[in-house]
Chains A and B, each alone.
Chain A
C-alpha cells in the first residue's frame, strides 16, 4: 500500500507537558483518514508537526516517502494543503483576492482555476464581499479553497466542522467527499464528533494521550461494531459447528464467548447446541457504536 504520510514514534513536548508521546500512524493514499480523539489528545499538535509549523521533540515522519529532516520535504509540502484550527485567510479581502494571493505565493503563472475553486467550495457568488463578513461556514470553505490552490493531493483538515450549523456541516462533508472521490485527494481530518467522521472516513486513527492507540480501516471497524448477539456457551467449538451448519457469520472471542452476526432463533440455537452436547449459558445483544468502540479503546472517562 502506498502511504502519503507516515509518522514514527513522533514526540512533542511543551516544557513538561507531553502533547505527543510516540505517535505512529500511516495515512494510505486516496483515503479519508479520520483522526479521532478527545480534546487535548494531541490531534492538532500532530497536524501542526506534520505541516512543519512545529518541530517534533523526537521521532520522525515522512511525506510521500521523504523524511522530514531532508531538504526535499519542502517539495512534498507543496503537494499538501492544510486548514489547521481556523482558516488562514486575509479578512480584509474578498474570496477571489484571497485565492489570488495564494496563487501568487505558490508562484502559479496565472489565476486560471480560481473560478473552478470558488465554484467547488460554493463561494462563486460572494462577489466583493470581504472575508470578515463571511459566516463561519463560508470562512471554513474559503480556508479549504485556499488550501486547495495549487491542486494539492493531500489535504489536512483540523476540526473543520467545529462551530458550524447543521447545514454547514453537511456542506463541508459533501465537499470533502467530492474532493476525495472526484479529485482523488487524500484527506487527513481530525474531529471529536464521531458521528460525522463515521460518514466520511475510510480509515481511522484513534488518538489518546498523544499516542495512536489503534489504526483501523472503516471496513474493519464496521465489522467490529456490527449488530450482533454475544453468546456464552460451554463449548465454542460446538457452537462453531452449529453456526457453520446454518451458515451464519460468527467470531469466536474466547473458549466460552462468541459473536454471532445476523438473525437467529434462540430456541433453534439452544436445541441445536443441546444436540451437540453444548450448553447455552447466556445471550445478550451487542450493538457497538463508534462512540462505544472509542470509549472502550481509551478506557472510559477516567483517562484524563
Chain B
C-alpha cells in the first residue's frame, strides 16, 4: 500500500495536470486574499469566502478523473494488479492519494488567502472558529474526494470522468445552496401594510402573521435536512457562514445573543435550522464520516466485482 502510494505521489504530482491545478488554486487563494486585505468598515459582510474552496473541490474532481482515468487508460492498473496488489489495496491507495491531493489543494488556497488577508483574519476571527471552519472544509473536501474516487473508479474513462466530476461538483454545490435556502424558509411570514401621506410620512402601519406557503413540512423537511448534511460540499458553505463577523460577535459563549437574533428574525429564516447549522456542527461529521465509509466500501465492492480490461 505504501509503495503504491509513494509511486502515485511520485508519478502524478510532477505531472502537468497537477502543476496546472496547483496554479489555479494558488491564484484563487491570492485573488480572494487580496480582496479581503482591505480594511473592514462594516460589521456585516466579511466572511470566509467559500468560492475558492468550491473551485478547489472542482479542481480536485478533475484531477481524480485525470489520475484514476490514466491508470485505466495507460493500463498501469493491470501491471499493479498482476504483480500481486489486491483490488482493495489498489482502491484504497487511489483514495488515500486523492485525500492527500485534496489536502494539498486546500493548503494552496488557504495559505495565500491567509497571508494576503492575515490582518483581517486575526483581528476579526477567533482561533476556535477558524479551526472549526477549516476542519469543516477539510472534511468536506475529503468527502468530495471519496465521492470522486468512487465515480472515477467506476467510470474509468478519463474524459467522461472529467465531465462527470466537474458536473458533479457544480451539481452538489447548487443542490447544497438550494437545500439550505429552502429549509431556511420560515414557517410564518410577516406582511406589513403601510399607509403613507403625500409628504412621505407613515400615517398607518399594521402587520399580519400568516403561515407561509413556501414552508416545507415534515417528512420532506427531514429528508431535505438529511440531504443537506449528507452533501459533502455543505460543510464548505457552512464554514463560510459560521466564521462571518456577525457570528463571531455571537460566539458560543454568548449563545443567547444568537438565539435572540434569530428570534427577532424568525419571519425571515427558520430559527431552528439556522441555530442548528451554527451550533450543531457535529451534524456534518456525523453524516459525512459514515457516508464516506459507506461510499468507500461500495466502491471497493464494485471494483472487486468488476473486471479489469
Contact = CB atoms under 8 A, between A and B. Distances in A.
Interface residues of B, number: 24
Interface in A3-29: 14
Interface stretch (B71-79, B115-123, B193-201, B245-253): B71-79
Contact of A82 (B11, B82, B307, B309): B82
Interface stretch (A47-55, A169-177, A293-301): A47-55
Contact of A101 (B10, B16, B77, B308): B10
A75 B84 contact: yes
B84 A78 contact: yes
A288 interface: no
Contacts, number: 74
Interface string B82-100: 1111100000000000000
A51 B82 contact: yes
Contacts of A150: 83
B81 A104 contact: no
Interface stretch (A87-95, A204-212, A236-244, A247-255): A87-95
B134 to A, nearest CB: 33
B79 A147 contact: yes
A147 B307 CA distance: 21
Contact of A74 (B3, B74, B84): B84
Contacts of A31: none
A54 B308 contact: yes
B80 interface: yes
Interface size bracket, A side: 20 to 34
Contacts of B307: 14, 48, 53-54
Interface in A120-152: 146-147, 150
Interface in B1-50: 3-4, 6-7, 10-11, 15-16
Contacts of B84: 52, 74-75, 77-78
A105 B81 contact: no
B10 A104 contact: yes
Given A14-B307, A104-B6, A88 B83 contact: no
B14 to A, nearest CB: 9
Contacts of B74: 88-91
A90 B76 contact: yes
Contacts of B10: 101, 104
Interface string B270-309: 0000000000000000000000000000000000000111
A88 B76 contact: yes
A102 B75 CA distance: 13
A107 interface: yes
A74 B85 CA distance: 8
A256 interface: no
A106 B76 contact: no
A106 B83 contact: yes
Interface string A45-83: 000100111100000000000000000001101101110
Contact of A92 (B15, B78, B309): B15
Nearest to B6: A104
A48 B308 contact: yes
A75 B74 CA distance: 25
A95 B210 CA distance: 74
Contact of A87 (B6, B75, B77, B81): B75
A178 interface: no
B85 to A, nearest CB: 8
A147 B104 CA distance: 33
A53 B82 contact: yes
A82 B308 contact: no
Contacts of B75: 84-89
A105 B7 contact: yes
A88 B78 CA distance: 7
B82 to A, nearest CB: 4
A93 B79 CA distance: 16
A77 B79 contact: no
Contacts of B86: 74
6 contacts: A14-B307, A51-B78, A84-B75, A85-B75, A88-B76, A89-B75
Closest 10 A-B residue pairs measured CB to CB? A88-B75, A88-B79, A74-B84, A53-B308, A77-B84, A54-B307, A51-B82, A82-B82, A88-B76, A88-B78
Interface of B: 3-4, 6-7, 10-11, 15-16, 74-86, 307-309
Given A81-B82, A88-B74, 20 more contacts: A48-B307, A51-B78, A51-B81, A52-B81, A53-B81, A53-B308, A78-B83, A78-B84, A82-B82, A84-B82, A87-B75, A88-B76, A88-B77, A89-B74, A90-B74, A101-B7, A104-B6, A104-B7, A106-B83, A147-B79
